[in-house]
Structure 1
Amino acid sequence: MRIVVAPDSFGGTLSAREAAEAIATGWRRAAPGDDVRIVPLADGGTGFAEVLHTALGGTVHTLEVTGPLGDPVTGSWLQVGDTAYLECASACGLHHVPRADRVPVVARTATTHGVGELIADARSAGVRRIVVGLGGSATTDGGAGMLAALGAAPVDVDGLPLPHGGAALALCARLDGTPDLGGIELVAASDVDNPLLGPHGAAEVFGPQKGADATAVAELDAALGTFAAVLADLAGRDVRDVAAAGAAGGLGAALLALGARVESGAGLVRDLVGLDAELDAAAASGGLAVTGEGSFDWQSLRGKLITAVARGAADRGIPCVVLAGQVSVGRREAGAAGVDSAHAVADEFGLDAALSDPAGTLAELASRVAPRWSR
């Protein structure tokens, strides 16, 4: 039977390929007769460009850009023909912020300026289409930094440029300048469908991961509300409630204001790497799909990668098994998403072991799960 191993990355511990190889190693150890195929995936967040580079080839462009804290970081984007694929996390990812620095002041001031620099570099290279993977950001600035890098700086009522970060947007009156993308088609590949504001919005849902306390969350949500009116002037429509506006700390809203079309990051990658063909082969052999990520939680059910894999498996009548670092989704909710069973490394071996030996413990979990499913 064919086993399609198609995980996302596991937070900051394993890339999607490393996770897939660990699962495959453990599965083959316990079920050597199974035909195990690895298909590393991404949903728009961290690893998006790496997964596509593995599958599609192309040229990786590397450059120094402004990181989320304002310091220079090394960013990159992938060129395949006349299309550029870039992940916002390359420039403004949470991995650029040490855990000790994930505090309210950083959550208020982190910037997407580097994302705009990556887009500008791709534009200069002559591409016709730019696909921006959204997810894994350290920012909650509504894409204000990106717009500034593209020539439209947020300013206050006196026309003075605002400092970096989402909190400063409480004083935003307008944009000084108009972004010029030169007719490039823009696609926002989102890992979530959250709106910009409110209880399911960028600040409330994702702010705490980035160091925002309750006070900072309230400030950022109010500031993004002010900025939403400015984005509406740019877009000619209100984008605050459009699906994915809240992705990557509101970067999705700014991309929408620039005319971007929203696509499911997981669905886009699924198509480009040929996941459907692998699932077809698994169905023909009575096999199954195995997917996973660092934390299988309620956010995983809001359009992220696991739901795309589970939906593809369900469409073919084959089981979908999740192997994750941690699992907090209940059995009923997982089943409704098409997941037949979910298993956590932390539950089997403890969180400390999972973090100290992520590949080894994930492989061992796979070897324990495989006999339950393999013929």
Structure 2
Amino acid sequence: MHRTSRRPGVGPSTMTGLCVLLVLADVSVVSRTGVGLTVLACGVLALASAVAQARMHRTGRSVLACALALLAATASLLTTSLLQSTVLQRTPGWAELCGLLASLCLVCRYARPTLLVVSALPLFAAVVRTQERAPVLLELPVLKDVDGLFVLLPTGFVLLGGYLRGEDARRRAAARDMRRAERLDLARDLHDHVAHYVTAMVVQAQAGEQTAERDPTTAQALFSNIERTGQEGLVAMSRMVGLLRTEGQGPREPTVTPVLTSIGELVRRADSAQQPTTLEIADEVNADVWPPQLAKTVHRLVQEGLTNVRKHARTATAVQVRLGVEADRLVVRVRDDATGQPRGRLRFRPSGFGMVGLEERITELGGQLSSGPLPEGGWELAASIPMK
């Protein structure tokens, strides 16, 4: 099952501790008057607003989050005006300043363009005006050499929010592209599965039609096989369509079947009295160490080979599937002994999509695909694929 990894972030206890420290820093310097209490209240409001906005943006309530940002910016501007009309404090309000900067970063990261402009401008202005509360800060040894400190500070947080916004967009685009590629791959597999099962049903129906009168027992067995094959095809198709419909839903635990087991099942379904089908696996073949893409490609190759035998080699009396190792490459062969074209009208029109998709898969793995007649008669579909 795919698991979503969460990147480490600041925990609730750490965030609470930082907020408490900022409030205590303000308590230690503001006057014990109504004006000082106003500064403290504005700082607590700004911090609480920033914390609430972080949660609201992530849960899709951006309008309410921007309203809180506007509230915090308005309260800060009113507090600054109040201090200008009374007495300058020794602090711009550290809790308030940090809360405003955090809100500015969150708005630039998450808000829609219209809400971003409406919310960011008041926050930016509120941060710039906090320098009027404590001009003595600008005379400190480190800060006095920085021109426009209270302009550079919010600008940096705007840029940080914009950078995080771009990273979020890139992650969403990458996830969207990955889902699209996976859905296209599933759609191609769906085509291959349907072709495999429907071909088996058509071939058996044709055989049953020819043997119904002279051998009713064999015909009855063929029609039973048609029913079973159709049911298996419906189950496989429903499973793949279900995967295609899981957009936006949580991941589900897939049913994983060992590749050699699934290949053996393909051979078992293809085996019949008219066309005995055998599977030969060399001792050197170890499917446990195959990468998932290699295992999927080998399964598809065998499936396509057996489907083509049913379509184009009805005169074949034996079909062989062989898996072997040559050097560091896996060699897969599907061959039949058909010596001529079947009589009667052509029952299938070749689409070519199965072979095209198979060739793309094998080429991506650095392998080669070949298909052609054998010197002794018959036809062979073969592939040589690196195992690493």
Smaller-chain TM-score bracket: under 0.3
Choose between structure 1 and 2: higher strand proportion. Answer: 1
Higher RCO, 1 or 2 (CA under 8 Å, sep at least 6)? 1
Choose between structure 1 and 2: higher helix proportion. Answer: 2
Give the greater-gyration-radius structure (CA).
Answer: 2
TM-score where L is the length of structure 2: 0.24
TM-score where L is the length of structure 1: 0.24
